[in-house]
């Protein structure tokens, strides 16, 4: 797929509108267009990485920043005490729809104590 057609890349380039809630040199975060909970934010690196399979040692600082900013956003959104979930989907069995590494920050309601809703196998 041509990266120019990538939705998240186009949000970064201001070609697609999004409600940006955080931006710095390394990271951008915006509201998910189809929220699964009262708080549902997508956090992406400003450099293109297809998914978590495509990271290497040079990305360690960036990944640490992504987690640090996720926790700051959770605090800013006041879900840090009630609780929240960080999700990184990778490839089709996890349901990754957009080929651009991203963290879902989801909270604001009880999410259940299971890590996925897949059927028993």
Q: Which residues are catalytic?
A: 102
As a whole number of angstroms, the distance between CA 85 and CA 107 comes to 6
**Closest CB to ligand AMP among residues 33, 68:** 33
Under the rule (CB under 6 A), what is the footprint of ligand AMP? 7, 16, 18, 30, 32-34, 42, 89, 95-98
Shortest distance, position 111 Cβ to ligand AMP, whole Å: 15
**Closest CB to ligand AMP among residues 30, 74:** 30
Which of 53, 87, 91 minimizes the C-alpha distance to 70? 87
Shortest distance, position 117 Cβ to ligand AMP, whole Å: 14
Shortest distance, position 21 Cβ to ligand AMP, whole Å: 11
> Are the beta carbons of 86 and 105 closer than 8 angstroms?
yes
Dihedral (CA of 87, 91, 97, 102) sign: positive
**Closest CB to ligand AMP among residues 61, 92:** 92
As a whole number of angstroms, the distance between CA 69 and CA 30 comes to 12
């Amino acid at each position: 797929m041509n990266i120019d057609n990538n939705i998240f890349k186009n949000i970064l380039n201001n070609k697609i509108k999004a409600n940006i809630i955080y931006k710095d040199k390394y990271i951008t975060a915006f509201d998910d267009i189809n929220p699964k909970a009262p708080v549902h934010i997508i956090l992406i690196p400003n450099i293109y990485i297809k998914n978590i399979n495509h990271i290497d040692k040079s990305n360690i600082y960036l990944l640490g920043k992504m987690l640090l900013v996720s926790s700051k956003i959770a605090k800013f959104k006041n879900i840090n005490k009630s609780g929240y979930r960080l999700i990184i989907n990778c490839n089709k069995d996890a349901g990754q729809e957009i080929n651009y590494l991203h963290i879902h920050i989801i909270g604001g309601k009880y999410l259940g104590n299971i890590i996925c809703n897949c059927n028993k196998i």
